[in-house]
């Protein structure tokens, strides 16, 4: 796993607003504190989220964009792109691969963080079909699309040169390979999650749940009691 001083830019590709905050907002806060430039690419606007039927789906999309922008600021992230694919209907199409490849070529990151394309049967909530599709499309965009000058010639014609990503960090993978101790950044993670007001039926109970999950992750990594961690499957891509 590349260390913060080896990373100039990092791109996060996630299916929905709040996905990055549940899976890796602590890591993002740590990285930005170390000077890494972090960008978010959200495949959907999260328009199928929430349970209030009086809110139109267009209004929900606008709400969730605003919430994700606020959440990103909590962990030091200022650069966000929303691709606008329909929530709940994401597929790893050539069009989505092209759009993610475009963002990769624009940002030129050393690392792409995305969701696992493999279903996690122990944590089914991490394996929403949109998550699996976004993860598959992101991995295909990293290899081979974004580095291949002959993939999507319209990108090259638009002045976007090929770019090779060095590593992919997968969140929610059933077999994580690396763990990051983010104990000092958990408050920022919680604040980021609380920005997603439209999605939390029990915001008061959220901090304890988050700390419980992260404590279990830290214990699985062999970290001392009281530490909190986030987990990734790291894939070499260069």
Rounded average pLDDT over 5-22:
98
Q: What is the DSSP string of 14-29?
A: ESSTTHHHHHHHHHHH
CA–CA separation, 58 and 66 (whole Å): 13
**Once rounded to an integer, what is the mean pLDDT over residues 86-103?**
98
Instruction: Assess whether pLDDT exceeds 90 at residue 14.
Output: yes
Q: Confirm if 60 and 198 have CB atoms less than 8 A apart.
A: yes
Query: Which residues on adjacent β-strands are paired with residue 167?
Result: 111, 236
Task: Give CA separation, 124 vs 198, 216, 230, in Å.
Answer: 22, 17, 17
Residue given tokens 């214990």 in the structure block: 219
Instruction: Check residue 71 and give its pLDDT.
Output: 98
pLDDT band per the 50, 70, 90 thresholds, residue 118: very high
pLDDT at 12: 98
pLDDT at 104 over 90: yes
Looking at residue 76, which CATH number applies to its domain?
Answer: 3.40.50.10320
What does each C-alpha distance from 68 to 120, 165, 192 come to in angstroms?
Answer: 25, 25, 8
pLDDT tens digits for 139-168?
999 999 999 999 999 999 999 999 999 999
Domain count, the chain: 1
Q: If you average pLDDT over every residue of the chain, what do you get?
A: 97
- pLDDT value at 172 more than 90: yes
Q: What is the mean pLDDT of residues 11-17?
A: 98
pTM, full prediction: 0.97
* Helix or strand (DSSP H, E) at 219: helix 206-220
Whether the predicted pLDDT of 132 surpasses 90: yes
- Tell me the per-residue pLDDT of 202-212, one tens digit each, with 9 for 90 and over: 999 999 999 99
Is the pLDDT confidence value at 50 over 90?
A: no
The answer to whether residue 51 scores a pLDDT higher than 90 is no
**DSSP letter assigned to residue 33:** H
Q: Which domain range does residue 173 map to?
A: 4-236
Q: Cis omega (within 30 of 0) on the bond before 144? A: yes
Q: Per-residue confidence at 236, pLDDT binned at 50, 70, 90?
A: very high
What DSSP assignment string belongs to 115-179? E-SS--TT-GGGG-HHHHHHHHHHHHHHTTGGG-TTSSHHHHHTT-------EEEEET-SS--EE
Q: For the stretch 41-78, what's the b/e string if a residue is b when 16 or more beta carbons lie within 10 angstroms of its beta carbon? A: bbbbbbbbbbeeeeeeeeebbebbbebbbebbebbbbe
């Amino acid at each position: 796993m590349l260390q913060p001083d080896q990373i100039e830019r990092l791109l996060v590709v996630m299916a929905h607003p709040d996905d990055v905050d549940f899976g890796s907002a602590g890591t993002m806060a740590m990285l930005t504190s170390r000077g890494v430039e972090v960008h978010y690419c959200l495949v959907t606007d999260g328009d199928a989220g929430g349970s209030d039927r009086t809110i139109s789906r267009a209004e929900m999309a606008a709400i969730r964009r605003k919430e994700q922008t606020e959440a990103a600021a909590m962990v030091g992230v200022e650069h966000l792109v929303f691709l606008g694919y329909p929530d709940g209907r994401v597929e790893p199409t050539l069009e989505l691969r092209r759009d993610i490849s475009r963002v990769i070529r624009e940002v030129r990151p050393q690392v792409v963080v995305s969701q696992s394309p493999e279903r996690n049967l122990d944590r089914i909530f991490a394996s929403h079909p949109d998550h699996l599709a976004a993860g598959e499309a992101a991995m295909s965009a990293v290899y081979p699309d974004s580095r291949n000058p002959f993939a999507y010639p319209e990108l090259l014609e638009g002045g976007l040169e090929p770019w090779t990503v060095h590593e992919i960090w997968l969140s929610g993978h059933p077999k994580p390979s690396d763990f990051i101790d983010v104990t000092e950044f958990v408050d920022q993670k919680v604040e980021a999650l609380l920005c997603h007001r439209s999605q939390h039926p029990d915001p008061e109970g959220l901090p304890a749940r988050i700390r419980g999950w992260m404590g279990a992750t830290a214990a699985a990594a062999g970290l001392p009691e009281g530490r909190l961690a986030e987990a990734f499957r790291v894939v070499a891509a260069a």
